[in-house]
Structure 1
Amino acid sequence: MDDCCGRGQARYGDVFDERFAGDLERRYRRRGLTRAERRVADQVERSGVAGTSVLEVGGGIGAIQLELLGHGATRSTNLELSAAYEDRARALLDEAGRAADVHRIVGIDLAIDGADVPVADHVVLHRVVCCYPDALRLLAASAAHARRTVVFSHPPRTWMTRAFVGMANLMMRMRGEEYRGYVHSPVAMYDALRRAGFTVDSVARAGWWRIASAHRA
């Protein structure tokens, strides 16, 4: 299963470091979006992306944002808890001529310090909730920052994914690393968006991932 995102600058940066960022950049340059990233972008585009703004939580090198900007989005904001992605992301933005259209912020946890983060038409979270301890709080904060849609990915809550994440967490613990992964209840996460005034339109499959799309009711 693909790696996910984390919480806390120290433990996050230990796992999602410059080497990890470099691997993402090289893969993106060779093959473009992954299957799951493509599905996330497609869900946003279906709700209408031309002339809109995007907020991506844990956007990494910004591949999904580049795709959405190329399809008509006018600006985006990227939140990250690790600075390891910044050089790679800036290089990609400069090459695409979109550096002025993207605001990248490092060190802000939307669920805790999101008051100064601008709202956007679309909020995207790919490979993020699976590594955030309080996914319901993060999704509620994401919904509060979304005018139109929230699109996020999560692993299915099966014995296989729970065993995989459990083994990965054990290895992290044995290495003395603080990072942990999570397999949250999909039903609870969808309910968090519904309580925030959203309707969950669809849940699509993309390999291991489930891509949930919700719009403001």
Structure 2
Amino acid sequence: MLPIHKKVYLSMLVTLFGMSSLFASDLTVSVVDAYQQPVQNAVIELYNENYLNNDKTNTSAAQYEVAQRMRQFTPFVLVVPVGSSVTFPNYDKTRHHVYSFSPVKTFELKLFSGQSHEPVVFDEPGVVALGCNIHDAMQSHIYVTNSRYYGVTDANGEVNFTELPDDAFDLKTWHPLQEDALQATEITFNKSVKTIDIVLPIIETFDEDESESEYSY
């Protein structure tokens, strides 16, 4: 039989756990373009100063990858928390020269076939645009965030969040091909908030129909 003080302690734990579940919300954000078509690779960031990751020297942060395959960067949009490391492996049979001139992070990596490089640490929030000095059509973007809550829309234009605290957040939307920047929308989560629909007009992309048969991978 448990002592009285242990019973009370366990009761408090159960109560607190129940409260944390009670005040947690799930949310689906859906993004479409001006023609009501799903927008993939849109960044959704939920910002609140009480829920930040400000550790710029976080060596335990997960390591991410932007690969080069078939003369394309994969993924096209990557979101990482501040302090994360990113590698840039070259899986092509040709060399690449990856670069960024973005103020958030400036670097150059000369990568030969089958070669990677030391990880690059992204220690400031913001957007980093990537290119290749050899293949101009190669583009990619790294979105560095200090928020705990973020995601990238899938092929259906959706991001799903679970167990969000019932609090006020600024919902920020970003896409590398957006026509105009959207203003952050302040939302307050509770059990009645289940979905948010966003219209994000995007510009035409570069021609993706160019034949790749001429390339040596």
TM-score, normalization by structure 1:
0.31
Relative to its length, the structure with more strand (as a share) is: 2
Relative to its length, the structure with more helix (as a share) is: 1
Which is greater in Rg? Answer: 2
Structure number with the bigger relative contact order (C-alpha 8 A, sep ≥ 6) is: 2
